[in-house]
Amino acid sequence: MKPLLVLLLAAAPLLASPPDQDPRGDTTTTALLARALESKGAWQVAQHLTDRIGPRLSGSANAERAVEWTAGTFRSWGIDVRLQPVVVPRWVRGAERASLVAPAEQQLSVTALGGSIATPPEGLTAPVIEVRSWDELRALGEAVRGKIVFYNRRMDPELVAAGRAFAAYSHAVEFRGTGAIEAAKLGAIATVIRSVASHSLRTPHTGAMRYDEAVPKIPAGALATEDADLIERLLAGGSEVTMHLLLTPERLPDVESANVIAEIRGREAPEEIVVIGGHLDSWDLGTGAIDNAAGVAMTMETMRLLHAMKLTPRRTVRAVLFMNEEFGLSGARRYADEHPAGTHFAAVESDAGAGEPRGFVTTLEGAALERFGARLDLLEPIGANGLASSPGTGADTSVLTRAGVVGFGVAPDNTHYFAYHHSPADTLDKIDPRHLQQNAAAMAVLTWILANEAGPLRESEP
**For residues 229 and 432, which CB has a smaller minimum distance to a copy of itself in the complex?**
229
Residues in contact with 55: Cβ distance below 8 Å, sequence separation at least 6, in sequence order: 62, 282, 283, 284, 285, 286, 287, 288
Check residue 427 for interaction with a copy of itself (CB under 8 A).
yes
Contact 335, 341 (CB under 8 A): no
CB of 419 to a copy of itself, least distance (A): 7
How many Å apart are CA 441 and CA 309, to the nearest integer? Answer: 13
How many Å apart are CA 425 and CA 412, to the nearest integer? Answer: 19
Region near a copy of itself per CB under 8 A, out of 123-131, 186-194, 267-275, 422-430: 422-430
Taking CA atoms, 210 is separated from 114, 146, 318, 364, in Å, by 8, 20, 32, 32
Region near a copy of itself per CB under 8 A, out of 132-140, 179-187, 344-352, 427-435: 427-435
How many Å apart are CA 158 and CA 86, to the nearest integer? Answer: 40
Check residue 428 for interaction with a copy of itself (CB under 8 A).
yes
Among 251, 195, 249, which Cα is nearest to 423's? 195
Contact 5, 418 (CB under 8 A): no
Give bridge partners of residue 239 from the DSSP assignment: none
Residue 426 neighbours by CB distance under 10 Å:
28
Check residue 106 for interaction with a copy of itself (CB under 8 A).
yes
Check residue 199 for interaction with a copy of itself (CB under 8 A).
yes
Check residue 419 for interaction with a copy of itself (CB under 8 A).
yes
Check residue 234 for interaction with a copy of itself (CB under 8 A).
yes
Chain-centroid distance, C-alpha 340: 23
Taking CA atoms, 362 is separated from 201, 316, 346, 413, 435, in Å, by 34, 20, 10, 16, 20
Check residue 294 for interaction with a copy of itself (CB under 8 A).
no
Does the annotation count 325 as an active-site position?
yes
**For residues 53 and 406, which CB has a smaller minimum distance to a copy of itself in the complex?**
53
* Count of residues in the chain: 462
Region near a copy of itself per CB under 8 A, out of 207-215, 318-326, 421-429, 433-441: 421-429
Write the burial class of residue 378 (CB in 10 Å: 0-12 exposed, 13-18 middle, 19+ buried): buried
Check residue 94 for interaction with a copy of itself (CB under 8 A).
no
Catalytic-labelled residue, pool 301, 325, 326, 453: 325
Region near a copy of itself per CB under 8 A, out of 212-220, 230-238, 322-330, 447-455: 230-238
CB of 61 to a copy of itself, least distance (A): 9
User: Contact letters (x/-) for a copy of itself, 35-64, by CB under 8 A?
Assistant: ------------x---xxxxx---------
Check residue 75 for interaction with a copy of itself (CB under 8 A).
no
- Torsion angles phi and psi, residue 274, rounded to 5: -100, 110
User: Contact letters (x/-) for a copy of itself, 207-226, by CB under 8 A?
Assistant: ------------------xx
Residue numbers annotated as active site: 325
- Chain residues that interact with a copy of itself, rule: CB under 8 A: 47, 51-55, 103-107, 109, 199-203, 225-226, 229-230, 233-234, 286-287, 419-420, 423-425, 427-429
